Chains A and B, each alone.
Chain A
Amino acid sequence: MKSTFMHDIAIDNLKALFNQLENEKQYQPDWLFHLRSRAFENFLIHKFPTKKDETYKYTSLEPHFSGKLTYLSQTKCSNINIDEVFKCDVPSLDTHLIILVNGWYYASSQQELLHETSDGLIYGSLREVTNKKPELIKPYFAQSSRTINNFLDDLNLSFMQDGLFVYIPPQARLEKPIQVINLVVADEAVQIYPRHLIISESSHLTQILFCDHSLNISPFVMNGTMEIYLKDNAKLSFYRMQNAHNHSIQLTNNYITQSHQSEFKSVYVTLHGGVVRNNIFVQINGEEAKNSMYGLWLADKNQHIDYFTHVNHNKPASESNQFFKGILDDEATGIFSGKIFVAKDAQKTNAYQSNKNLIISQNAKVRSKPQLEIYADDVKCSHGSATGKLDDDAMFYLRSRGISHKESCQLLMFAFASDITNQIDIDPLKEEIETLVDKRLRGELSRCNRCSISCT
């Protein structure tokens, strides 16, 4: 009965919040308000998923929405020490730096909210673009996310205020990566709904680096949606590092839509987080498109990390490759559910999926659900899943060479993780993440490298 009770509280809270926003006429363009109302209606119809819902079988999220969570209806950046923020930067990496604070685009002045470079690159605050250049976002906004029933996106769309917008025109060549630091700084428990939109038309590779951090330890729920559209021939690499403290609930919904011959690559590394759920939905709508996704999670204590991927091959001759690995210690739970869907006409599809998990402690748990759903015959699809402990032979090899048990474990775990970290193509970033992973595995990384706040 407890859960029903929580359920009601959570829904009442959200209803009250929605009504409040409606009355305050927050975020006004009519078309957006319309979308938002429909999303909330949809949420009220379906409500929170139960354990019987296949997509949320192993992760129950409603309890996290039932507590008292403050909603930040305006940007509050005054109390940020920007020097502090820059400490989270990757040294020796020159980037277009963007900072999001509590889901709001951070800028020192109004002009800084939107940038347009000489080669046509436009980036800045999603809210600002919505007001100033709605024609840029309207054809894309919430197009891909609304095709799939996902209560987290319903909530995000209902309550979103701001986020990142990036448009890369054809022929634009970005010399340096775009780095986004997604910070949470709050004195009380907050709920945050950032929404990001990235559109690329450029056949030159664009690299985007996304770092999630928290600057203090007050709990929060962050439910973000990111939509990425790759037009014909577009190339994009996306790296995301999740490293917020262990009282945080980090929920991300990522929608990737790919056209003809586009190439998308993503690497997710989850170092810290209380409850993490990453939904990744890929729609391959063009022929000969390529998609590769990698993920690594290192979980200990009571952390609960859930990766959910869904790759739809809708057109022929496309390729996808998923490789996800987890290391679980203490009482942590690691979940991977992935689906490859090949539509009837998507002949000549090559799709692969692999999930590997390492269990270190007696009480850690792994749930793995790699799935294939295939309606075309001329395809090559496979998936694999393996879960186990550190290899005894490898351990013996190291021990017989005088390496301590602890050090041997470290080495083997690091090697296990390196399959994923090696996929990072930006060298300074790769080194940085490898260092973080190494420290994390040693239990030393209870905080980011140069960060003065401890995130335990």
Chain B
Amino acid sequence: MNSEDIIQNLTQSDYKYGFTTNIETETFPKGINEDIIRRLSEIKGEPSFMLEWRLKAFEYWKQMEMPTWAHLKIPPIDYQEIIYYAAPKKNKAPESLDDIDPELKKTFDKLGIPLEEQKQLSGVAVDAVMDSVSIKTTFKETLANLGIIFCSMSEAIREHPDLVKKYLGSVVPYTDNFFAALNSAVFSDGSFVYIPKGVRCPMELSTYFRINAKNTGQFERTLIIADEDSYVSYLEGCTAPMRDEHQLHAAVVELIALKNAEIKYSTVQNWYPGDKNGKGGIYNFVTKRGICKEENSKISWTQVETGSAITWKYPSCILKGDNSIGEFYSVAVTNNYQQADTGTKMIHIGKNTRSRIVSKGISAGYSQNSYRGLVKIMKNADNARNFTQCDSMLLSDKCGAHTFPYIEIDNPTAIAEHEATTSRIGEDQIFYCNQRGISTEDAVGLIVNGYAREVLNQLPMEFAVEAQKLLQITLENSVG
């Protein structure tokens, strides 16, 4: 097999999470209007401030238009054709594992998600979200003993309204952008994490998102608050069945790090990318932003983006507290007809703030992969420091790799560096490996993994292995 065939093969492997679960779901009719939002809020048993907030967001959203500045070709989306709420039918809230629908449990077992506490060894507390509703949060009691709140968003709204009221929308207000406004109006669930003062969360917290029902959009909302001197590492994973039509996923994630706190947020995004002719797939339009609100805090984003027909997101850090640190590590792989416009924003407001961006893009097939990032150093951010590296690798002559950094500096003591390269796997590199008895396919895997290592190393161990495999599968049959 010549190397071109190998590339071809490597990029054509199948999506293995594409099954559907036959589970009874309760869905709303298609479309969005005030009644839908009222009904949603009612079902959720939300306090009135939430409903008001949702309605305000909806009013605002109605006046907005979908932005078009991204380097993406997005077919028009009919927002009235989307079902905004779908939940597995249940009679009452599950109290133990036995109460969970066996079909549902099977789904998560298939995905390899340890819902059953006794079986899982990895020590990861999981919150599983199917379609719009959080199914089950594991390890709740252990965490509760430390004062950690890890629950679904709906539960948090009911049980911890003060915290929610205080922080929800404080980092991503509903006026922020088109999709954030839409999400604020219709978000149905998500995860909520609160780490109290001085607590180091003993295990990885994890949420698994699954879109199952047809024609639905998933709008979840995640809020993580790390109080003074605390630490938390949070993982997020996502999959969806294979369908011919596109489905919208517009989530909002807000992180708040108070004094000396650290939040590490990792994502392995593997939504269904569409078939090899670009049919179907998820639109992943997500707003993720964290604020280092007080001094010495740190927020670190790590993302491995392999799925979705279109990925459009910029996990960002607002470095407000003095000496705070923001990090962004990303591997974005696009294959076939996938498109990605992703990157980060680092807003330096406080003194001695530091940020580091490492972005690795890999494009194959007919895909388009863009890095877009903003580094803004405000006037009072003395001694701010930024380093950005964004590399792109092209694996076919039909794909594109683009870099659009924005650097805005208003302080003379700041240092901002940006460097980017674009290249492909060199014939000499492959030759070197071949010579040592490594097949071309393995060589490509090796080189790609080496290329992405800097980012993969940032992932928690359980995820790093998965991500590495995922990288290999996504690119399977694609190298030459």
Chain A: residues with CB nearer than 8 A to chain B?
54, 344, 347, 357, 359-389
Contact = CB atoms under 8 A, between A and B. Distances in A.
A58 B396 CA distance: 35
B419 interface: yes
A381 B402 CA distance: 11
B402 A372 contact: yes
A33 to B, nearest CB: 36
Contacts of A364: 412
Contacts of B401: 372, 374
B413 A389 contact: yes
Contact of A385 (B392, B399, B417): B417
The 3 closest A-B pairs by CB, nearest first: A377-B394, A388-B415, A368-B407
Contacts of A347: 397
B419 A384 contact: yes
B407 A385 contact: yes
B404 A387 contact: no
B415 A54 contact: no
B403 A383 contact: yes
Contacts of B416: 385-388
Given A357-B409, A389-B412, A371 B403 contact: yes
A371 B418 contact: no
Nearest to B422: A381
Contacts of B415: 386-389
A366 B407 contact: yes
B403 A385 contact: no
A197 B419 CA distance: 36
Interface of B: 69, 71, 379, 392, 394-424
Given A384-B419, A389-B412, A377 B407 contact: no
A367 B412 contact: no
A54 B405 CA distance: 12
B69 A54 contact: yes
Contact of B418 (A361, A367, A375, A384): A384
Contacts of B412: 359-362, 364, 389
Contact of B419 (A359, A374, A378, A383): A383
A73 to B, nearest CB: 40
Nearest to A333: B410
Nearest to B410: A365
Nearest to A375: B400
B411 A379 contact: no
Given A359-B411, A359-B412, A370 B402 contact: no
Given A54-B69, A382-B421, A376 B402 contact: no
Given A377-B396, A389-B415, A369 B409 contact: no
A366 B411 CA distance: 9
Contact of B423 (A360, A365, A380): A380
Nearest to A347: B397
A305 to B, nearest CB: 15
A256 B424 CA distance: 29
B376 to A, nearest CB: 10
B424 A378 contact: yes
Contact of B422 (A54, A359, A361, A374): A374
Contacts of B398: 344
Nearest to A328: B412
